[in-house]
Amino acid sequence: MRRELLAGLSTFFTVAYIILLYPNFLSAGGVDFGSALTATILTIVISTLFLALYSDFPAVLVPGLSVGPFLVYSVILKQGASWQTALGIVFWAGIAIFLLTIFKVRQKILLHLPATIKSAAIAGIGLFLICVGLKNLGFPHEHVFNIPIAISLFGLILFFILHYFGVSSAFLVTILACWLAAFPFGLAKLDGIVSLPSSLSPTFLKLHFSLGFEWMGTLLTVILIALFDTSASLTVLSKLAHKLDDRGRIKEIDKILIPDGLGSALAGILGTGTLSFALESSAGIKAGGRHKWTALTAAAACLIGLFFHPVISSIPLFATTPAILAIGIFMALEIKSIHWKSMTESIPALITLFTIPIAFSIYRGFAFGFVSYALIKGLKGEWREVHPVCWALAIIFAAHLSWGLATGHL
């Protein structure tokens, strides 16, 4: 038991930066920061408790750092959606993911999505996050090398030094170091340490349950991003936790997958983003965590964060930017997994990879990537290599792109 408790604390200190980072994302899209903070913590706690008690899996469920920036910077700020609509998309994505899991369609989708599109999408999302981080610092409009930029650069260098030496809480330490560095320049302040949790009323049940057809493509994109996040992180965590069977399949995968879909639906109701298995949970697993007590301990520690709103709200956006840039860099490195020697694999990968940051839209990257993959494979006579799941997605994306171009909603 002692080992599980210590493992749970290790997990908490590696995922705590998400509690600091995610409300900053949402507040940039018009969501009340305090409400977003409370919603994020409660969603993490409730969903992780469900995961622990239902599946005995030693991991934490957290809002995914791919979906959050996409909803804020692409859907809300660029496409003009309200944050209430974005929460509605989160809710229905969670319901869809839950149903796909129940009917075992999700497992088939994860198994048959093209590896090259998956790798290109991950790398493209990494470039997207780098663009988001640079945008937070004022690039390309800010031409002056100012103090916030200097502190963020210091933070990025500090993170990679900590990461090199294997410091498991490198993200959290980096954010706190940047925050402290801002005080001498009057760029940060502390209005208190402990307080009652912020009210949920600004976001609770404020989502738009009814979505127009123009948001169906965005909904599909959020579902796909969530599936990619889950596929990558769950596989790694299951291997570390010795949860794979003799054939390399995840044991009791149905039980493990159910909580994140329901948790994502809850996230939309409370006021935060879709969930993913936190890859940072590997810190606790490496420390010996194998069962539910690791996750329960981490969830309990996250719950305490509800009462430290004054501290969390005093951390400026530029102090969290090094974490965004570092995550983007790590994801962009997935580019090495693309099969570059095959034209039918590399061309769709390039289209996906560059469309995401250039159009500042993960949706368009997915859409053009899937359509080009199916089209090029078909023209080369390799249509049998395209699984029916991929054909279906390509047709859906092509139909929505055509509708968007015809109506001006693209």
Query: Of 342, 102, 356, 118, which Cα lies nearest the Cα of 224?
Result: 118
Top-confidence residue, 288 or 127: 127
Distance of CA 153 to the CA centre of its chain: 23
Residues 21-54: pLDDT tens digits?
A: 899 889 999 999 999 999 999 999 999 999 999 9
Which helix (H) or strand (E) segment holds residue 275: the answer is strand 275-277
pLDDT (tens digit per residue) in 126-148: 898 898 888 878 776 656 678 99
Q: What percent of the chain has pLDDT over 70?
A: 96
Average pLDDT over the chain, rounded to whole?
A: 87
DSSP string, 44-107: HHHHHHHHHHHH-----EEE-TTHHHIIIIIIITTT---HHHHHHHHHHHHHHHHHHHHTTHHH
- Average pLDDT on 68-86 reads 91
For 165-174, b where at least 16 C-beta lie within 10 A, e where not — what string?
eeebbbbbbb
* Length of the chain as a residue count: 410
What dihedral angle (degrees, nearest 10) is formed by the CA atoms of 161, 121, 93, 374? -170
Query: In this structure, which long-range contacts are made by residues 236-241, counting pairs with CB atoms below 8 Å and at least 24 apart in sequence?
Result: 236/279, 236/282, 237/57, 237/59, 237/277, 237/279, 237/281, 237/282, 237/285, 240/282, 240/285, 240/286, 241/57, 241/58, 241/59, 241/285, 241/289, 241/290
pLDDT for res 296: 94
